[in-house]
Structure 1
Amino acid sequence: MKYYIIAGEASGDLHAANLMKSLKNLDPAADFRFWGGDLMQRVGGTQVKHYRELAFMGFVEVLFNLRTILKNISFCKKDISAYQPDVLIFVDYPGFNLRIAKWAKKEGIPTHFYVSPQIWAWKESRISAIKRDIDKMYVILPFEKQFYEEKHQYPVHFVGHPLIDAISQHQLGNVEQFKKEHQLNQNRVIALLPGSRKQEISKMLEIMLSITNDFPDYQFVIAGAPSQDEDFYHPYIKKKNVNLVMNRTYDLLSTATAALVTSGTATLETALFKVPEVVCYKGSNISYQIAKRIIKLDYISLVNLIMDKEVVRELIQKDLNRKNLKTELNKILNKEYKQTILKQYDELEEKLGGTGASENTARLIFEDIKN
């Protein structure tokens, strides 16, 4: 079978790569053509574009790059037509993928969507396009099935969360060797996960690193994103207790005492590694003001959204400052406070439904296009 897959971000690259592995187990002759990243490339197939070329963040940034985005959409349609896939698989990245899906549906190409757009948060009007253009939807959050089926009468498959697979399959190297290699001290590591895009990394690290002098006995270790070069981080690692590790986020989380994390998939990854965290977010003021008026959520982190309560502290926009960050980091370094968080992390993992998301989704896709 021929599979055309579109993932536009680092998290999509991870989930798509694991899906590809599962599809290959079911279909050894699987042929992949994709938009994605390094992880998908390692599985095999033909990479059309890297997600680094697609990563535009926020309303203003998208507007400034609209011409590039439209060119990519046009090119993608032509590339799909030339490839003639048996199935088109979208992995998150809804702004781009739903446009391609509208075209593909008219072309008679089967459309499957893995990792639902977060229309329960904003742009709920997209439900009409999803019903019209997406043949099969695979959701990874437990409340999404109820949202789609009860509120919008659109049947979906809840397959479990792929991060549980990714973490359970992660082959940790020798932890002691990792610590030695990066000169990390036991129980004294604060992981900094500032995001994957240049503009958010710069903004987040400036604030996160403002408190390093307040915790001289701890090492602050930046998780370098695979989408960035190591040189990009060099201006941020001038302080004595600041280190950088590239492409080793899971190894870092396995050794971390606590973490400061930019909102997004990383908040859930950190929780699944059982690391107490403070969630951080600060965007451009214009983008934030627009988002605040259209996003109808009580929380921004996946941890709190899934649990439907504040499990981890969220510092957003003006609340993300040196004083608050210092206060909240002190809290999660407290042993008793940490135990409370870890207990709720266990409940979170139970809600996510265990391992098997990639295998479940691959089986459903393969059976559907085979018949």
Structure 2
Amino acid sequence: MNDPTPLKIYFVAGERSGDLHGGNLIRALKSRFTEVHCRGFGGDYMRDAGMEVVVHYREMAFMGFAEVLANLSTISKKIKLCKKDILSYKPDAVVLIDYAGFNLRIAKFAKQNGIKVFWYISPKVWAWNQNRAIKLKANIDRMFVILPFEKEFFKKFNWTVDYVGNPVLDAVKMHQADQEFLTRNKIGSNKPLVALLPGSRKQELNMIIPLMAEVAKQNPSCQFAVATVDNLSTEFYGDLRSLPNVSFISGATYDLLHHAQAAIVTSGTATLETALFNVPQVVVYRTSAVSYLIAKNLIRVPYISLVNLIADREVVKEMIQQKANSKDVSAELNLILNDNQYREKMMQRYKEIRNVLDTGSASENTAELMLRYLQSTN
């Protein structure tokens, strides 16, 4: 794109993973076009990449149907603020990153106001609300998907989308391991290190931390390290704080995974990150009874973890609600730590997943396509 006129892009990311991938996308855009001005809703990664952050995603990170309902007033105010700010900013394009409920409203609004709408990282409509794809198609100019099966899914709606590769793999490839990590965090090498990835939302922590604490108590022969998030105090980690075989790692999840022998992971992007670091894992998930009942009736896919969804078979065990108990999780942890054949089978499946996802840099591919589409309409 050779036009020297500055390009203005408004981003909306409502979660940590969206912030990470948004930051990488902004850097890729800036490397191709010198005058890119970015503003929007996001977080620290996007700010570091050069975006002016209007609202931090921490103010909007609600999980589950019940939790969203309880915070509708806050969400509504943020939507109004976002719409007003977009009109004031007058961007050349709006780039929406995942965060379906919020961003669908912004997509419709931007489209009605003649603003180009790009969506990076499709909402998981294939999982629980497939007809929502029709709404997406009506309000989005281009969709950039990061899971191979999504391209085929959207074909059912006569919609051609761009598969750009997976930004999680990009982030893992770019990571440079801290070789002093274990020493700096006073983690010895005499016991197997188990990474605990409970998620970044308060609602997730309230449900998962008690389970992880019980597992740590039942496995004194292991050392556990919790991947914490900067914006939450250690109070949210409850019983884990008092256990002698548990340490806390802030802002270094990838270094933790690089050194871990196993992991207990809450479903989400972290399951894929763990797989790409070749760490055997067990996936656990708990939510409120109301959210679970609603989800159980709506979800249309057989798995909750990205690892199993991409492989289209069970690669890692998923323990949900009542099945997410300390006895069963400890039993699975023992398998992935000590059964070499079991571990190797999981590692082989991980390798297959990596090969499927490895199509070059998702951020670079997306930036190239976005600039091309903008150029073709100018």
Distance 1:194 1:27 in 2: 38
Report what 1:229 is aligned to. Answer: 233
Aligned mate of 1:247, from 248, 251, 255: 251
* 1:296 match: 300
2:4 matched to which residue of 1? none
Query: Is the deviation greater in 258-267 or in 63-72?
Result: 63-72
CA displacement at 1:216 relative to structure 2: 1.6
Equivalent residue for 1:257, pick from 233, 255, 261: 261
Match of 1:355 among 338, 360, 365: 360
Alpha carbons 1:23, 1:363 under 8 Å: kept: yes
Deviates more, 1:92-101 or 1:59-68: 59-68
The equivalences for 1:197-208 within 5 A come to 197-208=201-212
The match for 1:276 is 280
CA distance, structure 2, for counterparts of residue 250 and residue 167 of structure 1 = 8
- Alignment partners' CA distance in 1, 2:32 and 2:231: 30
Residue 96 of structure 2 aligns to which amino acid in structure 1? Answer: F
- C-alpha separation in 2, matches of 1:34 and 1:250: 27
Number of aligned residue pairs: 368
Is the CA contact 1:90–1:97 (under 8 Å) kept in the aligned structure 2?
yes
Q: TM-score, normalised by structure 2?
A: 0.95
Q: Does structure 1 retain, via aligned residues, the 8 Å contact 2:206–2:236?
A: no
Instruction: Give the Cα–Cα distance (whole angstroms) in 1 for the partners of residues 124 and 67 of structure 2.
Output: 20
Q: Retained in 2: the 8 A contact 1:312–1:341?
A: yes
Aligned residue type for 2:90:
Q
SS in 1 for 2:264: strand
CA distance in 1 between counterparts of 2:139 and 2:307 reads 30
In structure 2, the gaps of 5 or more residues are: 1-6
Deviation at 1:231, TM superposition (A): 5.1
**Partners of 1:43 and 1:321 in 2: CA distance:** 41
Identical-pair percentage:
48
Alignment of 1:71 onto 2:77: yes
Q: Which amino acid counterpart does residue 181 of structure 1 have in structure 2? A: R
Aligned equivalent of 2:183: 180
Shift of 1:261: 0.1
Match of 2:63 in 1: 57
TM-score, with length taken from structure 1: 0.97
**What residue identity is the alignment partner of 1:132?**
A
**What amino acid is the match of 2:36?**
A
Match of 2:22 in 1: 16
State how far apart, in whole Å, the 2-side matches of 1:147 and 1:125 are.
11
Q: 1:116 corresponds to which residue?
A: 122
Q: Distance in 1 between matches of 2:35 and 2:321?
A: 49
**RMSD of equivalent CA atoms:** 1.2
Alignment of 1:7-156 (within 5 A): 7-149=13-155, 151-156=156-161
Cα distance per residue 1:188-216 (max 9 Å; x no partner): 11000001011211221110120223322
Equivalent position to 1:3, from 9, 17, 21: 9
Instruction: Give the gaps of 5 or more residues in structure 1.
Output: none
Tell me by how many angstroms 1:348 deviates: 0.6
What CA deviation, in whole Å up to 9, does each residue of 1:136-188 have, x standing for no partner? Answer: 00010000001112x11101000000011111112222x2x110011112361
Flag the 1:184–1:8 CA change in 2: closer, same or farther, 3 A: same
**Distance (whole Å) between structure 2 residues aligned to residue 235 and residue 209 of structure 1:** 6
Task: State the Cα distance separating 1:235 from its structure 2 match.
Answer: 5.2
Residue-by-residue CA offset, 1:276-324 (whole Å, 9 max, x unaligned): 0000001001100110001011110000011011000000001000111
Query: Residues 197 and 227 of structure 1 are in contact (CA less than 8 Å); yes or no, is this contact kept in structure 2?
Result: no
Q: 1:126 to 1:106 in 2, by over 3 A?
A: same
Is contact 1:162–1:355 with CA below 8 Å preserved after alignment? no
Displacement after TM superposition at 1:227 (Å): 3.9
Match of 1:328 in 2: 332
1:110 offset after TM fit, Å? 0.1
Measured in 2, the distance between the counterparts of 1:111 and 1:161 equals: 21
